[in-house]
A and B are shown apart, each in its own frame.
Chain A
Amino acid sequence: MPEAIELVGENNDKKFVAGGTNLIDLLKYFITSADTLVDINKIEGAAYHEIHEHHGGLRLGAFARNADTAYHPLVEKQYPLLSKAILAGASAQIRNMATNGGNLLQRTRCYYFYDANAPCNKREPGSGCSAIPGYNRIMAILGTSEQCIAVFPSDMCIALAALEAVVNIAGPVGERQVSFADFHRLPGNTPHLDNNLQQGELITSIDLPEKGFAENYSYLKLRDRHSYAFALVSVATGLELEGEVMREARIVLGGVAHKPWRVRDAEVFLMDKKANEKNFAAAAEIVLEGAQGYRFNGFKIELAKRAIVRNCMMALHPEQSQLPGARP
């Protein structure tokens, strides 16, 4: 581990590679570049590659594959929300290759970010944003800035945000932990920065706290295709119920912002209220406060509100609603 960190150093031309499912793609399109790749799959250490109980919760090795994580018995049992979210993303082949750490670091799939000839403030600060005046169907409606309306496309991270995961990081200046809510950034004036990982740092593991909402959870992904497509809107819900009444609620949106979108006020609103459509609809209004549509994605605002209500209702009966092919 220390050798790997030293090899990459402070120089942006040297990068870590794990699964490679996003990095190799970006290199092929010349969206990013590197003169050296450091293959971190070879780093020894069970904590990086495996999944173990950790203080009543779970420690997910950063180099463990997304597929192995989704199907791990401890994840399926205690954090089925995470399992479903992972399985909603990408394809089976990609999930077999992709790592947990890499999933957090994947870059936006904004068409213009991926087009080396299009002005893009994320690739080149100050060059302009082609998406705002362009075809922006898949772009953000929340937390945007005048410089960038890119969406963070991960499904796994929506669940990790709902579960309040903690990210463990190692780097040139040592080890540190970052709460999930603080890991990814909003574009603001710094659209070139997706997250708060510093150059040369490496995610080593992701800790899940004890609470997994295994009894009442749902992940709903709405997209233009039935499978193998990014979310237009996705919702992760976890509920803790006492009879009809919610003692705790977690609601996080994907497909709508530069980071997983969680509004605590909506969750606080739902506490000690009955789990019904009326209350979920009111919560949805709070989650979508401040939403701004662009020319081709205004539909996402209403869609997200309805998706929240639908997903929260689905969370009441996960044994039915989470089956593959179940109509949402």
Chain B
Amino acid sequence: MNPKLHTISLTINQQTYHLKVLPWVSLLDALREYLHLSGSKKGCDHGQCGACTILCDGKRILSCLSLAVMKDGSEITTIEGIAQEGQLHPLQKAFIEHDAFQCGYCTPGQICSAIGMLQEAKAHTREEVKELMSGNLCRCGANVGIIDAIMEVKEGGKGE
């Protein structure tokens, strides 16, 4: 077996990076270890917790189950890119207001997932929001605050 380094380019938070990675490096590891964008968290590394959720070409996906080489050329948004020009995103503000995090470890994934969900525009009721956010686990139990925050942004039509 002769693993070779693949050269890839990833546009992350509107900045393009060129990387050489071995084929088995996950997108999550590429973000955290190679690009030092440690906002996205490794909760389980097996697609079961959602802490690694990022937006790729507009869709929320799990970066721990994505290979970096397979995302060559993609446009990625991580939690580091959610605030714009020093201004918190409405969802970030709502998370603070609604006590939507305790330890904060699931939070980047929750926020990216919620933004993706609002863009999907399939969740209309609180029940649907809960169901469509079920891929993001919170062991601190801040779930009620998380849903409250999302509902506020959703109702306000500011979800983006």
Interface residues of A in 64-93 (CB under 8 A from B): 67, 71, 90-93
State in angstroms the CA–CA spacing of A228 and B1 once bound together: 37
Task: Assess the B59–A324 pair: CB atoms within 8 A.
Answer: no
Stretch with Cβ within 8 A of B (4 or more), from A19-27, A233-241, A287-295 = A19-27
Q: Beyond A324-B131, A325-B131, is A93–B53 a contact (Cβ under 8 Å)?
A: yes
Interface check B23, CB cutoff 8 A: yes
Assess the A96–B70 pair: CB atoms within 8 A: no
With A227-B131, A324-B131 known as contacts, the answer to whether A71 contacts B62 (CB < 8 A) is no
Sorting the interface of chain B by its residue count into under 10, 10 to 19, 20 to 34 or 35 or more gives 20 to 34
In the bound complex, residues from chain B placing their C-beta under 8 Å from that of A21 are 47, 62, 65
B21 CB to closest chain A CB (Å) equals: 14
Q: How far is the CA of A6 from the CA of B48 in the complex (A)?
A: 34
Assess whether B134 is in contact with A227, with CB atoms less than 8 Å apart: yes
Checking B24, B70, B125, B135 against A94 with a beta-carbon cut-off of 8 angstroms, the contacting residue is B135
Rounded to whole Å, the gap between the CB of A115 and the closest CB of chain B is: 13
Residues of A within 8 A of B80 (CB): none
- Choice from B23, B24, B120, B125 contacting A92 with Cβ under 8 Å: B120
Q: How far is the CA of A25 from the CA of B47 in the complex (A)?
A: 8
Residues of the A chain whose Cβ atoms lie less than 8 Å from the Cβ of B134: 91-92, 226-228
Q: A25-B47, A96-B59 are in contact. Are A41 and B70 (CB under 8 A)?
A: yes
**A35 close to chain B: CB less than 8 A:** yes
Residue of A nearest to B60 (CB): A93
Q: Is B26 an interface residue (CB 8 A)?
A: yes
Give the chain B neighbours of A39 by CB distance below 8 A.
69-70
B135 contacts A228, C-beta separation under 8 Å? yes
Contacts of B131 in A (CB 8 A): 227, 324-325
A28 CA to B66 CA, complexed, in Å = 12
Cα separation A272 to B122 with both chains bound (whole Å): 38
**B108 CB–A CB distance under 8 Å:** no
Q: Give every chain B residue within 8 A of A96 (Cβ-Cβ).
A: 59-61, 116
Contact flags (1/0) for A293-328 with B, using CB distance below 8 Å? 000000000000000000000000000000011000
Q: In the docked arrangement, what's the CA distance between A41 and B23, Å?
A: 16
What total of chain A residues lie within 8 Å of the partner, measured CB to CB?
Answer: 26
Q: Could you tell me the distance in whole angstroms from the C-beta of B43 to the nearest C-beta in chain A?
A: 12
**C-alpha gap A181/B120 in the complex (Å):** 34
Asked if B122 and A24 sit within 8 Å, CB to CB, the answer is no
B46 touching A28 by the CB < 8 A rule? yes
B127 surroundings in chain A (CB, below 8 A): 324-325
Contact partners of B47 in chain A: CB under 8 A: 21, 24-25, 94
Is A17 in contact with chain B by the CB < 8 A criterion?
A: yes
Per CB-CB distance, the 6 closest pairs between chain A and chain B, nearest first, are A91-B135, A325-B127, A227-B134, A228-B134, A24-B65, A96-B59
Interface of A toward B, CB cutoff 8 Å: 17, 20-21, 24-25, 27-29, 35, 37, 39, 41, 67, 71, 90-94, 96-97, 226-228, 324-325
Cross-chain pairs A/B with CB under 8 angstroms, 11 sampled: A21-B65, A29-B46, A37-B67, A91-B135, A92-B113, A92-B120, A92-B133, A96-B59, A227-B130, A228-B135, A228-B137
Given A21-B65, A227-B134, 20 more A-B residue pairs with CB atoms under 8 Å apart are A24-B26, A24-B66, A27-B24, A28-B45, A29-B46, A37-B67, A67-B120, A92-B135, A93-B50, A93-B135, A94-B62, A97-B61, A97-B65, A97-B66, A226-B134, A228-B134, A228-B135, A324-B125, A324-B127, A325-B128
